[in-house]
Structure 1
Amino acid sequence: MTARYICIGTHHKTGTIWMRKVFRAIANEQNIPFMQCYRAKRLEDAAETGPHIIVNWSSSFPKQLINMDHARFLHIIRDPRDVLLSGMRYHRIAPLGNEKFLREERAEWDDLNYQDYLNAMPDDHTRLMFEMENKHDKTVGEMLKWRDLSAGATDRTADIKYEDLIEDTDCAQFRAILEGFAIEGLDIDKAVQSYWDKSLFGGLAKKDDRTDRVALHVASGKKAQWVTKLPREIAEPYAERYADALKTLGYAENSDWVNTCLPAAEIEAKSAA
């Protein structure tokens, strides 16, 4: 069956803002409908002919969409250790209007919201542990859930790591994905240009060219930041909790990586030098 729907699934801090910019640009440039879809009822608004860009920023597409033979899925994950670091940093400064969960107040947080409680903590160790046990745990769970959710669509899915995309500086991998999808009515050359224009290695290489929201989300687009920034004191409990997840997602076969992480005091000394 001819492919018509190109569906983009990400997770929190796995390139969501990047993909939103890219596929919004593709939609605008090529006059392709664009919509978010978290519930099956939303599919009533999907285009009956031609291409349609459908996104879900937690990769929780309704099963009815996943089962459609004319739907293709681009699914992006990221090293959870980097997601932890990026998430904690962003959640301290993110505009509350952009993230509903940051505004939620709880009694166990001294009636503060997520962001205020995070910022009230005495140090980054406490903040990272809090992040790990809350939003981060949910994000890792969503990344793991995708395998079961998409089980019936593996031949129509491109599972890709953020780390590979951020180094796709010649756009070859992105082009290959689109060529494999063969979406009816999609101009691949124009789509690849939009991808370049909205990427940190392309049109957004200069910080002055990034919007305020992109700048808030992106401290650095580099991969494996955990190697130099994740303290041993956090790495050890992280490995105990997420060793299986790291292996399943293809980021670490065992917990030997913990030994590469420096103690917090050494990381701080290197940063101050």
Structure 2
Amino acid sequence: MTLTTQTGPGYDEGREITKDRRQTGLAKDGSRQRWYSSLIARVLMIALSCLFLLPLYWMIISALKGEAELAQYPPTFFPAELRRQNFVDAVNAMPFARFFVNTAAITIMSVVFSVVSSFVVAYGFGCLEWRGRDKVFYIVIATMFLPFPVTLIPMFDLYANLGWVNTWAPLVVPHLFAGAFYTFLLRQFLLQIPRDMLNAARVDGAGEWKIAWRLVFPNALPALTAVAIFAAVGAWNDFMGPLIYLQDENVQTLSIGMQSFRQTESEDIQFNQLMAASVLVILPLVILFFVFQRYFIRGISLGGFK
């Protein structure tokens, strides 16, 4: 028996065609698998998004329902009649405008003070070289683990001796001293700044303050935006601080006003008005996040430095 092998130009071309087809098929299979994986991931993200948005949706439709429809069972997922009057009644049921202005003023001052103080401290930890820098930074980070009740009584005694009780000072002045979390977030972002760029500015005769505010600050806007949003949300939603330090209605915030509104209506709570007031309270934060969403995500991811 004689074994023969096929050789020649035609045979080689056939092998190349078969190989190309096999590679094309593998490429199509890989592309199809990636498409299925992307589809599954998107479906899961949409499902989880709907799950997390369900309480917000329920609050909005409850704010637009009448009392009779709100009490019926089973509940409806869309109001039969949109009662926009609930928002007007909720605003008139308490000094909403005064509480809103007070909360906005405290929030703006807290954001400005937090951003400036945290940036200055983070610049010292991230862009300057000095002895014992890392050890001091670890001590600052350790303050994050102090529970709020531990410092509550000493801080209240301090503010009472200073005569700051029933004023905005206990809610605003602490933001002049950089928070540990904000400092950590900004420092991690500032560590990405090329040292050569800072050294070149120093060689050109620029001082540290000029480098910090004219060179580093503009490039750190994503992280600063993240800090500003965190500070705004914390100040806007703060309940314990105003509850402890603010006693006069003229200086109280929306969080205390909402609690007072609920206690006033405790005998016959009108949940539609309560939900309408809640929608008005969270609306500024939702707008703030969507306006600065891109910078916030870049700041949290600690990337995007150019």
Shorter chain as denominator, the TM-score bin is under 0.3
What is the TM-score of this pair, normalised by structure 1?
A: 0.27
Q: Which has the higher contact order (CA 8 A, sep 6+)?
A: 2
Structure having the larger proportion of residues in strand? 1
Structure having the larger proportion of residues in helix? 2
What is the TM-score of this pair, normalised by structure 2?
A: 0.25
